Amino acid sequence: MRQRRGFALVATTLFAAVLVAFVGLAIDVGYLQWQKLRAQTAADAAANGAVLEVRKASSNTAITSAGQADASLNGFTNGANNTTVTINHPPLSGPQAGNVNAVEALVARTLPTFFMAIVGQMNATVGARAVSMLGGGAGGGCVYSLNPNVPRAFQIAGGNSTYLACGVLVSSSSSTAFHMEGSSKLYLKNNAAVSVFGGVDLTGQTRILNFTTGQNVTATKPSSPPADPLSAVAAPSAGGMTVRGNSHTYYDMNAKPSGNTIQPGVYCGGLQIGSTGGATFTMAPGVYVMAGGGFQMGSQGKVDATGVTIYNTSGPNSGVAGCNAAFAPFNLDGQANIHISAPTSGPLEGIAFFQDRNITNATANQFVGGSSSLINGAIYLLHSPLVFSGNNSVGGYLILVADTITINGDSTVNNDYSSLQDGSPIKSNAVLAE
């Protein structure tokens, strides 16, 4: 009987020791898992905070400081309590490696163990990683087709080559929302991407390619349709502006503006520029309101416009007494050449062409000027189609936002926002990509 009691005592002691060990292990594992969740929250915050500095074209030092500051606000301070917070711009690994519109945040902390120390495991390291990128996804998107349902909401036709340093986002739910035909090629720089809520229709010999690697790029599908990325930009008001005549204004080589300089203000009936006979007309900085009649440039017209926003509305919508002309779209056609740069600060920072959001018009806006045309700014046509063939190949930035977008002819779009005081005018929230 005594032997049985002795055996039971030994067995109970051993069982209790094993039970305590398992309980201790569970406590340590649970504690480390909790710390890992905290680290992930800090990494997410760090990536989102850092990428907002990318939007402002800040230095890598500022990007790193912003990311580490947001991690610190979430309890993980770089260099304190065995913690490291590393910010990589661009990311060094994963699908967004090399994407200059994305930031990678790595958070790690070494922690002491409790019960695991009994078996020699004195500490353990928890880590987390997050990647955030601009423009609602798609590698810092700056080309947005926002019609919710039509086929070919975004299309590239013919045998042309299109080069984009930023992503394409298409809201249409159609099975052919994104369409390419002929032998056209879309080259994506900076690891930009294509994001289509509906379907992708690549016909003929068309391809979407990574510009650096030459590899095919497959479009992704967002969880919801992309929204208007410039919704925060307030439309200009014609109130208090100088009215430049009560009817359609026309300039050409035989009817030149004073000093070859066109002045900002309200143009009742719109503004048209014909052949300038080799001369270059200057548009002085400011806002130009087309109160009906639209803005048009014809063959051999040459215009240089710096710090300019052209706002297109109808006469009645302008609110200017005596302006009654009907709305007409933008039309830059033929061999027209325009060098236009949007304001670099202020409420219309980064906006070159802006159509009244209250106007829905099915007539396409034509931006198919000469090969030397250069646009630094956004073309914003929320409820109208855009036909585009142009470039800012020497640098700068270009943003295309329209109901539908058709690209005809070789085109180049860059996304260097360093000239802007507040960076890209697209102020949509950063998106966690990884």
Does residue 337 form part of some domain? Answer: yes
Average predicted confidence (pLDDT) for the chain: 86
Report whether pLDDT(137) > 50: no
Pairing of strands 337-341, 178-180: unpaired
Q: Can you give the pLDDT at residue 323?
A: 95
Looking at the structure, tell me whether residues 179 and 261 fall in a common domain: yes
Q: pLDDT tens across 162-178, in order?
A: 999 888 999 999 999 99
| Range from 122-126, 307-311, 317-321 carrying the lowest mean pLDDT | 122-126
Q: Give the mean model confidence (pLDDT) for residues 84-98.
A: 89
Instruction: Kindly report the number of other CB atoms within 10 A of residue 212's CB atom.
Output: 12
Q: Which helix (H) or strand (E) holds 431?
A: strand 431-432
Q: How far is CA 170 from CA 56, 148, 160, 208, in A?
A: 24, 9, 20, 15
Reduce the DSSP state of residue 6 to 3 states and report it. helix
Looking at the structure, tell me whether residues 43 and 99 fall in a common domain: yes
Looking at the structure, tell me whether residues 114 and 147 fall in a common domain: no
Does residue 45 form part of some domain? Answer: yes
Looking at the structure, tell me whether residues 184 and 71 fall in a common domain: no
Q: Can you give the pLDDT at residue 96?
A: 78
Does residue 427 form part of some domain? Answer: no
Q: Give the mean model confidence (pLDDT) for residues 83-103.
A: 87
Looking at the structure, tell me whether residues 116 and 166 fall in a common domain: no
Does residue 433 form part of some domain? Answer: no
Q: pLDDT tens across 331-376, in order?
A: 998 678 889 999 999 999 999 999 999 999 999 999 986 657 889 9
Give all strands (DSSP E) within 92-240, no chain letters. Answer: 102-112, 123-133, 143-145, 154-157, 161-164, 168-170, 178-180, 185-188, 194-196, 200-202, 207-210
Q: Can you give the pLDDT at residue 70?
A: 92
Looking at the structure, tell me whether residues 319 and 221 fall in a common domain: yes
Q: Can you give the pLDDT at residue 26?
A: 60
Sorting pLDDT into bands at 50, 70 and 90, what band is 433?
low
Does residue 426 form part of some domain? Answer: no
Looking at the structure, tell me whether residues 193 and 217 fall in a common domain: yes
Sorting pLDDT into bands at 50, 70 and 90, what band is 13?
low
CB 99 within 8 A of CB 139: yes
Q: What is the pTM of this model?
A: 0.74
Percent above pLDDT 70 for the chain: 86
Q: Can you give the pLDDT at residue 2?
A: 47
- Find the domain containing 87 and state its range: 2-133
Does residue 423 form part of some domain? Answer: no
Integer Cα distance of 34 and 271 in angstroms:
64
Number of domains in the chain: 2
Q: Which of 226, 228, 160 is nearest to 193 (CA)?
A: 226
Report whether pLDDT(434) > 90: no
Q: Can you give the pLDDT at residue 330?
A: 97
Q: Can you give the pLDDT at residue 19?
A: 47
Q: Which of 227, 203, 186 is nearest to 152 (CA)?
A: 203
Q: Can you give the pLDDT at residue 77?
A: 96
Report whether pLDDT(44) > 60: yes
Q: Give the mean model confidence (pLDDT) for residues 313-320.
A: 96
Does residue 138 form part of some domain? Answer: no
Looking at the structure, tell me whether residues 198 and 347 fall in a common domain: yes
Q: Can you give the pLDDT at residue 115?
A: 62
Q: Can you give the pLDDT at residue 371?
A: 57
Looking at the structure, tell me whether residues 279 and 413 fall in a common domain: yes
Q: Can you give the pLDDT at residue 328?
A: 97
Q: Which segment, 100-104, 245-249, 267-271, 396-400, is predicted with the most confidence on average? A: 267-271
Looking at the structure, tell me whether residues 100 and 169 fall in a common domain: no
Q: What backbone phi and psi angles, to 5 degrees, belong to 144? A: -125, 120
Q: pLDDT tens across 390-422, in order?
A: 765 667 899 999 999 999 878 888 888 889 988
For 66-98, give the DSSP string: HHHHHHHHTT--TTSTTEEEEEESS-SSSTTTT
Question: What tokens were used for 395?
Answer: 């640098």
Q: Can you give the pLDDT at residue 31?
A: 73
Integer Cα distance of 274 and 334 in angstroms:
11
Q: Give the mean model confidence (pLDDT) for residues 37-42.
A: 89
Domain boundary among 88, 113, 133: 133
Q: pLDDT tens across 194-241, in order?
A: 989 999 999 999 999 999 899 999 998 887 888 898 988 999 999 999
Q: Give the mean model confidence (pLDDT) for residues 316-336.
A: 91
Looking at the structure, tell me whether residues 233 and 177 fall in a common domain: yes
Looking at the structure, tell me whether residues 54 and 153 fall in a common domain: no
Q: How far is CA 37 from CA 57, 78, 80, 267, 404, in A?
A: 31, 17, 19, 59, 42
Pairing of strands 178-180, 200-202: parallel
Domain boundary among 105, 133, 161: 133
Does residue 432 form part of some domain? Answer: no
